[in-house]
Amino acid sequence: MNDEEHQVVISLEKLKQSFRSGRTRSSDWRKTQLRALLRLVQENEGFIFRALDEDLGKDHVEAYRDEVGILVKSLNLTLSNLDQWMATTKTRLPLVFFPAVGEVLPEPLGVVLILSSWNYPISLALDPLIGAIAAGNAVVLKPSELAPACSALLANTIPSYMDDKAVMVVEGGASVGKQLLDQKWDKIFFTGSPRVGRIVMSAAAKHLTPVTLELGGKCPVIVDSRLSPSQMQVAVKRIVGGKWGFCSGQACIGVDYLLVEDKFAPSLIELMKKTIKKFHGDNPKEPKNMARIVNKHHFERLSGLLQDPVVAASIVHGGSLNEEKMTIEPTILLDPPLDAEIMTEEIFGPLLPIITLKSIDDSTQFVNSRPKPLALYAFTNDSALKKRVLAETSSGSVTFNDVAIQFACDVLPFGGVGQSGFGKYHGKYSFDAFSHGKAVLSRTFYLEIEPRYPPWNAFKLAF
């Protein structure tokens, strides 16, 4: 064991002792920590904006909407509901148990590990932390090394606001992640790629540690040409806003590709071009109001997707790259080959393929021929199509007539299915993700039913 690993083990032991001492269990401790986290976010808002700008070139309005605002909302919701969530729930028991009381008691899991991703480096680190603290756990949080300013901000502020005997931030990349995964945890909450998700799951299997995997994938958008012109305007605004206005497409629930009827594609593209110009200007080398690509590796990965000559030939808008500023112009591709990487892998960037179908009714079959998405979107008023989308496809969530905003809707569970992950969080679901619902059955000493005991023969005839 090297020095670094030794340090991780010592710190983890301290957290385990804190948890065993009962420090994190009281409602007072949980609320104090959540209020401290709220102060951290509010008092450091300016620093958060600066760090997000440094790591991703995110505008502060986008940063408020998707990171600070989301967290403030989530913290207030949790603080207002915590007593209710912590309360035991009485259950109605079948008569055969009479007289008895049945309850479900939520208890914390213990010491939990949160590994988070770089694209929403503040909210994706702190939102699960809210659930873990609310549920009364001790926590180790490892932010992503690919957003170093945000990671440093969390590492520097969390210990001065929160209880450092129970909440710890460990910075680092894959090797630190690996060291952490070598330890025994009571829960691992992972946000990231399916590739690393598999590593997390096999490490967790060694200790039978429960995991939540918040993964990614390709999120399709079905666009029904039967919308009225004014509805289509709204749909296009929401699609363009949801693609390029969410971290430049570097979003797990961002729009990955569109499915439309072939005869409708040209007019949709024209509408989208106009909206792109309005939202992001018309300087291909310096698109406005867009985050930049996180790093050189991802910039090269995305530009590589366009290098295939057949894919390049399918570009109908954009395609300009600015390596110095690490930006890519909003780019639309019409019917790139379905076996090209752009259609087989999650894009996670500002490139948008439009796939045309003979009939919009074929869209569900198209979705079903690929791994289950984290989010599925459909712009339509047709109730038969809506029914088919719900009944015939499987995805983490379905949103009709909008994109991405389901993330902010705390009363709905957020999570994937199949290759987009499993487990869910947000609001009460976050509390549940970090709790064990302990079944408690309390009997009295009255009313003995003798046939339950041997010798069985004595009661043979009664049955």
137: its two tokens: 């756990």
Can you tell me which of 63, 75, 181, 354 binds ligand NAD, judged by CB under 6 A? 181
Can you tell me which of 63, 109, 196, 311 binds ligand NAD, judged by CB under 6 A? 196
Cβ pair 201, 50 in contact under 8 A: no
- Amino acid at position 58, single letter: K
First-to-last C-alpha distance (Å) of the chain = 64
Binding of ligand NAD by 211 (CB under 6 A)? no
User: Toward ligand NAD, which CB reaches closer, 348 or 431?
Assistant: 348
Q: Which of residues 367-386 bind ligand NAD (CB under 6 A)?
A: 374
391: its two tokens: 């009944």
If one counts every other C-beta atom within 10 angstroms of the C-beta of residue 201, the result is 16
Concerning whether 247 is annotated as a catalytic residue, the answer is no
**Smallest distance from ligand NAD to CB 382, Å:** 29
Tell me the pairing of strands 257-261 and 351-357: parallel
Considering only CA atoms, which of 388, 336, 340 is closest in space to residue 360?
388
Binding of ligand NAD by 205 (CB under 6 A)? no
Cβ pair 226, 381 in contact under 8 A: yes
Can you tell me which of 110, 177, 287, 413 binds ligand NAD, judged by CB under 6 A? 177
Binding of ligand NAD by 305 (CB under 6 A)? no
**Smallest distance from ligand NAD to CB 144, Å:** 4
- Using CA atoms, how far apart are residues 311 and 305, in angstroms rounded to an integer? 8
**CA neighbours within 13 Å on the CB side: how many for 374?**
29
Can you tell me which of 51, 115, 211, 433 binds ligand NAD, judged by CB under 6 A? 115
Binding of ligand NAD by 55 (CB under 6 A)? no
**Smallest distance from ligand NAD to CB 404, Å:** 12
Concerning whether 214 is annotated as a catalytic residue, the answer is yes
- Lookup result for tokens 């035991």: 88
Binding of ligand NAD by 113 (CB under 6 A)? no
**Smallest distance from ligand NAD to CB 155, Å:** 13
Centroid of chain to Cα 4: 30
Cβ pair 147, 123 in contact under 8 A: no
Cβ pair 134, 431 in contact under 8 A: yes
- Using CA atoms, how far apart are residues 282 and 349, in angstroms rounded to an integer? 19
User: Toward ligand NAD, which CB reaches closer, 193 or 401?
Assistant: 193
Helix and strand tally (H, E) in the chain? 17, 18
- Residue of 62, 67, 214, 346 marked active site: 214
Cβ pair 123, 71 in contact under 8 A: yes
Binding of ligand NAD by 347 (CB under 6 A)? no
User: Toward ligand NAD, which CB reaches closer, 145 or 335?
Assistant: 145
Mask of contacts with ligand NAD, 125-164, x by CB under 6 A?
A: -----------------x-xx-------------------
- Lookup result for tokens 């570097």: 250
User: Toward ligand NAD, which CB reaches closer, 242 or 421?
Assistant: 421
Q: Which of residues 226-255 bind ligand NAD (CB under 6 A)?
A: 252
- Residue of 252, 261, 329, 346 marked active site: 252
Residues marked as catalytic: 214, 252
User: Which residue ranges make up the site for ligand NAD (CB under 6 A)?
Assistant: 115-119, 124, 142, 144-145, 173-174, 177-178, 181, 191-193, 196, 199, 214-216, 252, 346, 348, 374, 416, 421
